[in-house]
Structures are given as C-alpha cells and as structure tokens.
A = this chain, B = another copy of it.
Amino acid sequence: MITVDLKSRKPIYEQICDSIKQLVLTGALKPDDRLPAVRKLAVDLAINPNTIQKAYMMLEAQSIVYSIPGKGSFVSSEAENLTNVRRAEILNQLKTLVRESRHLGIAENEISSLTAQVFAENDDTVQQTI
C-alpha cells in the first residue's frame, strides 16, 4: 500500500505522510484504524525506523493520527476533515493554473475537453471508492 521512491527529491518521511493521507482520503484507512507498526513498515520499506517515526510524528502534529504509547498509532476521527481541506486546496490550485493557462492563450474549451476526458477515464481507484 505504502511505497517510497528513494531516488526522489521529496524527503522519504514526507512521501510516507502523503501515502497515508492518500489512504485516508480514499477510505482505505478509517478513523481508529491502526497504522502499520513502525518497525514492521521500516522492514517492509527497507528504510530507517527513525524515518517512519518522524512521518508518524508529523501526522500526529497535524491531528491526522493519534498514538497510544505501547499500542501503536491510529487514524484520528478528525481525519475526515482531510477531504474538505484537500478539496479546498485543489480548487485553489486549479484556479491558479487555469488563470495561467488563460495568460498563455490556452482556450477555455481546451480545458473543458481535458476535464471531460479525465472524467471519462475508467480508473480502477475510482471504481473502488464507489
């Protein structure tokens, strides 16, 4: 489920955070679900446990995860807000990009057709979330 690209410029701990957020967003992880144990995940991904620890700490700082010493880390119930937050972010980014597109002379219908095309895709992930 969780993968990291060691060659990427993005810090590994950040990749792990993003992976887990993604799992929450898609519903694969629900509130009070337990996250993989730090040591196990470290072995699976062949990376340093400290790095996993750091990722979990960042998630905890964002209230996406809570941890119980000796038991593990769990998805917070507030994690469901993630969807709304992310939605707002995306719409904002879209606005910025569309604005720049316009500056560069990209026509409105070029964007519309791109959008339509994406919505016509047969994406497995989408199927899962239905």
Give me the interface of A with B, judged by CB distance under 8 Å: 6-7, 9, 25-26, 58, 61-62, 66, 68-69, 71, 83, 86-87, 90-91, 93-95, 97-106, 108, 110-112, 114-116, 118-119, 121, 123, 125-126, 129
Contacts and interface: CB of A to CB of B under 8 A. Distances in A.
Nearest to A130: B105
Contacts of A91: 101, 106, 110, 114
Nearest to A6: B68
Given A91-B114, A94-B111, A99-B121, 18 more contacts: A6-B68, A61-B62, A86-B104, A87-B106, A90-B97, A91-B110, A94-B98, A94-B114, A95-B114, A95-B118, A97-B97, A98-B114, A98-B119, A103-B125, A103-B129, A105-B129, A108-B116, A112-B115
Contacts of A71: 6
Nearest to A129: B103
Interface of A is mostly: helix
Contacts of A26: 103
Given A97-B93, A115-B115, A118-B98, A104 B25 contact: yes
B103 A7 contact: no
Contact of A118 (B7, B99, B105): B99
